[in-house]
Amino acid sequence: MALAPRAVVVAIALAVGPALTGTALLVLVHPWTADAAYALPGFPEPRIALDGDERSHLAAIGIHAIQPWRSDGIESMRAATREDGSRAFDGEELRHFEDVRTVVLVFLLAGAVSLAVIGAAAVLVRDRAVLRRGLIAGTRVTFALFAVLGALMLIGFDAFFDAFHGIFFEGDTWQLPYLGTVRSLYPDALWAIMGGVMVVLVLAQAAAIVVAMRRTPNDR
């Protein structure tokens, strides 16, 4: 393969993982995820006094706060109150959600740029075999990476969770009060479930690409 086509294959392959991660995250970063988790049998009860409606309402405010397209998300979280009129989230929780919002934005932007790379290749590259090789190579890398991540979650989710936050967040700013609102709304069980769903969504997309590429005639 000539240098230029090989470079295109590499660019496409490197774009697949971030693109699939971004689309999966875009599906999950909505309040329905918390409501679905709360409805599961045996899901942990809140650590502070919250009834079902209040828990769901505050969880939605927190999730809206990390959606980058909502300019008022953090302010809405800052203004949120409990049913007794007390402040729902403290300063430490608000600062962490500002950091989470930034991380979500970075992942979504990386996904968007990666999709643009793949889309540009699909439009501009005349040799469809080059596009196919890039996509297949990218799905193989993605399968391997997310299979390892899924295995690490199953082996020791707490260690995986701590390592993830150690990479993306500064110091111990993510270690919030045990009896705070955030840890009552989003217990570790929710993150374990969402992590598993994220892996499944990414691998499902990768499998769909493999199937689509195998059904595409090998022509120019």
- Could you read off the pLDDT of 21-62 as tens digits, one per residue? 999 999 999 999 999 999 999 999 988 888 878 999 999 999
The pair of three-digit structure tokens given for residue 157, joined into one six-digit string: 């989710």
Helix, strand, coil percentages (3-state) for the chain, rounded to 5, are 75, 0, 25
- Could you read off the pLDDT of 189-215 as tens digits, one per residue? 999 999 999 999 999 999 999 888 876
SS3 call for 87: strand
Burial class (CB in 10 A: 0-12, 13-18, 19+), 145: middle
Sole residue written with tokens 């909502």: 70
Q: Is the pLDDT of residue 217 over 60?
A: no
Q: What is the sign of the dihedral through the CA atoms of 39, 35, 89 and 99? A: positive
| Mean pLDDT score across all residues of the chain | 89
Q: Is the whole model's pTM more than 0.85, yes or no?
A: yes
Q: What is the sign of the dihedral through the CA atoms of 103, 151, 196 and 28? A: positive
Q: Are 114 and 15 in contact (CB under 8 A)?
A: yes
Q: What angle do CA 101, 138, 218 make, to 5 degrees?
A: 140
Query: How sure is the predictor about 1, in pLDDT bands with cuts at 50, 70 and 90?
Result: very low
CB atoms within 10 A of CB 106: 13
pLDDT number for residue 5: 79
Between the CA atoms of 40, 205, 18 and 92, what dihedral angle is there, to the nearest 10 degrees?
-10
Query: How sure is the predictor about 218, in pLDDT bands with cuts at 50, 70 and 90?
Result: low
Across the range 123-128, mean pLDDT stands at 84
Q: Give the C-alpha separation, 77 to 56, whole Å.
A: 14
